[in-house]
Amino acid sequence: GAVVSQHPSRVICKSGTSVKIECRSLDFQATTMFWYRQFPKQSLMLMATSNEGSKATYEQGVEKDKFLINHASLTLSTLTVTSAHPEDSSFYICSASNTFNYGYTFGSGTRLTVV
Amino acid sequence: GQNIDQPTEMTATEGAIVQINCTYQTSGFNGLFWYQQHAGEAPTFLSYNVLDGLEEKGRFSSFLSRSKGYSYLLLKELQMKDSASYLCAVREAYSGAGSYQLTFGKGTKLSVIP
């Protein structure tokens, strides 16, 4: 089946620094990657949709200059949280579209804590 | 846009049956998903409905009525490990952003008690 590897699983960073989260599709080509954010006891909120080789499409209210998304290849997409602040602390999850599971495979998530 | 509603919490007894409801409003429907999510983990796929009716997969079944904007997830022979959040997600018609997006409900936290 389709597998998406997401790293790191947990990261703690200081306020003002940047953090990069990687998602790799291991056995299929991910033409589209979705990036979600989930706050405690909340649902997954779509942040942006990225297609390989083109600019990401951000949801309303998501700052594209703060959450940099790169999808340079069919197997790798990255999300960089720039100048992180404590309010950016959240659970970030990627999801790659494919032909398995009716179209979506999720990464294992990254717990970001900004101190 | 979409509006997806599901109960916040439910409690059920081990061995019993529980039904988790989901109602939705969408401008262009293209399928409904149910996912299971344990705390601190990513969602795992449970079921997919795009046509009206019941889809059965082992202890889990999912039902869809498109005219009513309604779905439910049925869990039979509950086990303690079924304690988790259950997310209802709706896929809209093609958005033009490159692929079909999923919009998630807030999830139903199910607690299975002995």
The pLDDT tens digits for B91-100 are 986 655 556 7
Give B102's pLDDT tier (boundaries 50, 70, 90).
confident
Do the Cβ atoms of A102 and B100 come within 8 Å?
Answer: no
Instruction: Give residue A99's pLDDT band: very low, low, confident or very high (50, 70, 90).
Output: low
Cβ-Cβ contacts under 8 Å, B44 against chain A: 106
Q: What is the structure's pLDDT at B95?
A: 55
A44–B97: do the CB atoms touch at under 8 Å?
A: no
Q: How high is the pLDDT of residue B98?
A: 52
Listed in sequence order, the residues at least 6 apart from B64 whose beta carbon sits closer than 8 Å to its beta carbon are: B32, B49, B50, B51, B52, B53, B55, B70, B71
Measure CB to CB from residue B106 to each of A43, A95, A102 and give the nearest one. A43
Smallest Cα distance from A85 to chain B, Å: 21
Band (A30; pLDDT cuts 50, 70, 90): confident
Residue pair B110/B87 in contact (Cβ under 8 Å)? The answer is no
Q: A109 to chain B: which residues are within 8 Å by CB? A: 40-42
| Mean pLDDT, chain A, whole residue set | 91
CB–CB of B30/B92 below 8 Å? yes
Q: Are B21 and B70 in contact (CB under 8 A)?
A: yes
User: Distance (Å) from the C-alpha of residue A67 to the closest C-alpha of chain B?
Assistant: 18
Higher pLDDT, A3 or B101: A3
Q: What is the mean pLDDT of residues A1-9?
A: 90
Gap between the Cα atoms of B101 and B30, Å rounded: 10
For residue A37 the two structure tokens come to 């954010």
pLDDT band at A42 (very low <50, low <70, confident <90, very high): confident
Share of chain A above pLDDT 70, in %: 96
Q: How far is CA A64 from CA A7, A57, A74, A86, in A?
A: 21, 9, 21, 18
Whether residue B87 and residue A44 make contact (CB cut-off 8 A), yes or no, is yes
Query: Does the beta carbon of B97 lie under 8 angstroms from any beta carbon of chain A?
Result: yes
- Residue A101, pLDDT above cutoff 70: no
Q: What is the largest CA-CA distance in chain A?
A: 39
Rounded distance between C-alpha atoms, residue B48 and residue B89, angstroms: 9
CB contact under 8 A, A31 and B41: no
Measured between beta carbons, which residues in chain A are less than 8 angstroms from residue B31? 102
pLDDT band at B1 (very low <50, low <70, confident <90, very high): low
> Are residues A109 and B105, on separate chains, in Cβ contact within 8 Å?
no
Please tell me the distance from the alpha carbon of residue B66 to that of residue B63, in angstroms, as a whole number.
10
Q: Chain B 48-77, CB below 8 Å of chain A: which residues?
A: 48
State which of A62-66, A96-100, B18-22 shows the largest mean pLDDT. B18-22
pLDDT tens digit sequence for B26-84: 888 889 999 999 988 889 999 999 999 999 989 999 999 999 999 999 999 999 999 99
Q: Are A104 and A95 in contact (CB under 8 A)?
A: yes
Residue with the two structure tokens 């306020």 = A15
Which has more confidence, B101 or A109?
A: A109
The C-alpha atoms of residue B78 and residue B83 are separated, in whole angstroms, by 9
Residues of B in Cβ contact (< 8 Å) with A107: 42
- For the segment A19-32, the average pLDDT, to the nearest whole number, is 91
The tokens of A79 are what? Answer: 């999300």
Q: Given pLDDT bands bounded at 50, 70 and 90, which one contains residue A98?
A: confident
B56 CB-near residues (< 8 Å, 6+ apart): none
Minimal C-alpha gap between A81 and chain B (Å): 19
Q: What pLDDT is attached to residue A58?
A: 93
